Structure 1
């Protein structure tokens, strides 16, 4: 079946991007570099700028290195718009759901021979970013999702702390729901899934994986939104939101880090936002589902765009940014892909805000057993189509199975079937 129009458009855009590098005449003087990112966290930016400053000391041909934050919710759309408008960055973070399009289009510079000790990169971390044995983006963050807990709010609601539930073998979604209901009854928010906001549905993989559900088959060809496992998972979510009020509903303003929410599903990079928290907090693994314990990973790669007239320089900086020493520094917020750094002892040194149990249970164990969030070629059109088809689900009284049947009716043609 022919590729969907939007996927073809993106592929054409990225392929055109791939043809633009190395054609501009050599520029005179130190040349700037720009990297598109989606974090605006001050601690993250300071670390990036410190690494860039050290690089420039020994590379006088490199001018200012700018880290350009783009809001997460519009990141890929804005990035591709910049590329189309002739304002492409030299380097860019790439979300895991966009990996098939960026890697498959040939828009990125090959990196394998440039990366220091590339052989120690964990195979599970590089899979999305490889093609034909070549590496097209460095997996700078392989970050399992966990649950941040405001233990003060949980205690005020008269509930057991999640860590106590773990010890009792009771840390599961049903107990999460009970905590959320109790906290909501006290006028606060129970559980939120960061970056979901009833739009970014792929973040719900952090829930539905506990039921053994999938968005589509492993070969990417068959929609599984209306499979029994997904129907059960989404029925649980719908009840939690609209009946039990354990999760804030659509349109709610929620900010876990200000202390108004008991639990938040997020990745460990968010720990930096808790440095001055006015409440006690913990980080625990995702709760078990009916299918048992599981882990879900969000990934991001850094790639160099071929269209950049400074692609060679950008690739050299990327090699420095991700070498073993700097990977150890970045590991404070972004779990590394280097096997030498994935030990409890090493991670404890690089992530001082997290203790040994948190790092072992959420990060190290999560990377070993986790599955990556859904990704597919033509992800932009798939994401928008699925989002629109899921909108009727986020209302009281929705017929879950009917809505999910509608999702499959809409996205199956985009999957190639």
Structure 2
């Protein structure tokens, strides 16, 4: 990509989130509350899955039974690939939803923007789960989903390739990324199917690679967000592993190649438990923790918050619905797809009631331990600007003869000015 085009895309990305949220905080809707007459609420979400929508619409229907003034609650699905950009563009155009599902990578921008109103801080929710959504002692979005990453395994495909099942490797203390590369390579060579797929990465959404690099102790940037971590030895080690797995071992699909685990096209996929709704009985499967890296076992969390816009049409009603939607009873229902970080619900028996298809030991090892111990994927203010710069600078890495260390140094050069602001 030429420098002019890359800079133009980076500038547009920055304007989309940081700039448009600033506009939202300064003006727009009437910030209505206590509305007279029928009320229609809207909430943007990223999922169009029928089971997810059935659950959300069921909660909305229960709320409306005791709130006849609310005639409609609409869940508006936006494409996950452009979710935040589409949302903030709508906001700037005066078409903000009343509530929004906010992804963790844009949390700092939304929370610091002034666009959201404070919401109820429930003491049952783990303090660590609320950290990303707090400012000045107030909670600006409820941690709607705190979902650890694990690995779904097609045990039929692995057996066909003559490879050991991850569950057996776990018992032997050998479930690690080196074994993943061996299994993935063998599956590809013997069946023609893909080995390991980092779901939703597709050589674009680089932050999903945190589910791998955290095993090396790598980080995109320091905890205070000011120091680049891409050129550190830990990240070089993790990215060298990925590059080798793709281009030498053929253990992962190469750029331009797609392989959907849930359609039987891959042996393993790193993703979250919410994707279990995509499983059918077309093959035998398992759900296991992330493989160990050189630094040992680790957990990574993807998180989403649910916020109410201060310039929305029905702030009072939207805030009340959010409180209802995330109360203890409804949180237990949501936990089927979107793990809840509630102390009272973090036990295998409670989770098993809403996730009967997943073994209790997997719920304990992946979900419960992950929520308690996991590290949230990278996020930063001006995330869109930084994310686009990282993606563009990483592009040269995804070629067979890439100089991994040089590319990662270039990533730091590209984002250092933004990190140091």
TM interval, short-chain normalised: over 0.9
Query: Does structure 2 conserve the Cα–Cα contact (< 8 Å) formed by 1:7 and 1:377?
Result: no
Structure 1: distance between partners of 2:303 and 2:195: 26
Secondary structure of 1:307 counterpart: coil
Secondary structure of 2:282 counterpart: coil
Per-residue deviation, 1:260: 1.1
Aligned to 2:5: none
Aligned to 1:123: 127
Q: Deviations over 1:75-134 (max 9, x none)?
A: 11111111111111111000101000000111101102xx5xx11110110000011111
* 2:41 paired with 1:51: no
Query: Does structure 1 conserve the Cα–Cα contact (< 8 Å) formed by 2:17 and 2:84?
Result: no
Structure 1: distance between partners of 2:248 and 2:19: 46
Query: Does structure 1 conserve the Cα–Cα contact (< 8 Å) formed by 2:150 and 2:290?
Result: yes
Per-residue deviation, 1:29: 2.9
Per-residue deviation, 1:312: 1.0
Per-residue deviation, 1:27: 5.9
Aligned to 1:380: 384
TM-score normalised by L of structure 2: 0.94
Q: Deviations over 1:169-208 (max 9, x none)?
A: 0000000000100110120010101110000000000000
Aligned to 1:242: 247
Structure 2: distance between partners of 1:311 and 1:320: 14
Among residues 101, 111, 121, which one is paired with 2:109 in the alignment?
Answer: 101
Count of residue pairs the alignment pairs up: 409
CA 1:290 to 1:23, structure 2 compared with 1: closer, same or farther past 3 Å? closer
* 2:76 paired with 1:68: yes
Aligned to 2:263: 258
Structure 2: distance between partners of 1:407 and 1:219: 18
Aligned to 1:269: 274
Query: Does structure 2 conserve the Cα–Cα contact (< 8 Å) formed by 1:21 and 1:311?
Result: no
Per-residue deviation, 1:283: 0.4
Among residues 405, 408, 413, which one is paired with 2:412 in the alignment?
Answer: 408
Aligned to 1:150: 154
Per-residue deviation, 1:217: 1.0
* 2:214 paired with 1:214: no
Per-residue deviation, 1:155: 0.4
Aligned to 2:194: 189
Aligned to 2:87: 79
Q: Deviations over 1:220-278 (max 9, x none)?
A: 1011101011001100000000111100011112111111110000000001111x230
Query: Does structure 1 conserve the Cα–Cα contact (< 8 Å) formed by 2:23 and 2:92?
Result: no
* 2:99 paired with 1:91: yes
Aligned to 1:369: 373
CA 1:68 to 1:358, structure 2 compared with 1: closer, same or farther past 3 Å? same
Secondary structure of 1:219 counterpart: coil
Secondary structure of 1:127 counterpart: helix
* 2:331 paired with 1:327: yes
Secondary structure of 1:300 counterpart: strand
* 2:402 paired with 1:398: yes
Aligned to 2:3: none
Aligned to 1:32: 40
Aligned to 2:6: none
Q: Deviations over 1:13-51 (max 9, x none)?
A: 223323445456986531111110001111110000011
Structure 2: distance between partners of 1:328 and 1:127: 21
Structure 1: distance between partners of 2:33 and 2:155: 59
Structure 2: distance between partners of 1:60 and 1:367: 37
Q: Deviations over 1:311-358 (max 9, x none)?
A: 111111111110100000000111102110111111111211211111
Query: Does structure 1 conserve the Cα–Cα contact (< 8 Å) formed by 2:34 and 2:316?
Result: no
Per-residue deviation, 1:214: 0.6
Structure 1: distance between partners of 2:18 and 2:247: 40
Query: Does structure 2 conserve the Cα–Cα contact (< 8 Å) formed by 1:257 and 1:277?
Result: no
Bigger CA drift: 38-47 or 27-36? 27-36
Structure 1: distance between partners of 2:34 and 2:226: 46
Q: Where do 5+ consecutive residues of structure 2 fail to align? A: 1-9
Aligned to 2:7: none
CA 1:369 to 1:314, structure 2 compared with 1: closer, same or farther past 3 Å? same
Alignment of 1:293-332 (within 5 A): 293-332=297-336
Query: Does structure 1 conserve the Cα–Cα contact (< 8 Å) formed by 2:34 and 2:314?
Result: no
Structure 2: distance between partners of 1:160 and 1:250: 27
CA 1:190 to 1:59, structure 2 compared with 1: closer, same or farther past 3 Å? same
TM-score normalised by L of structure 1: 0.95
Secondary structure of 1:236 counterpart: helix
* 2:286 paired with 1:278: no
Structure 2: distance between partners of 1:246 and 1:111: 45
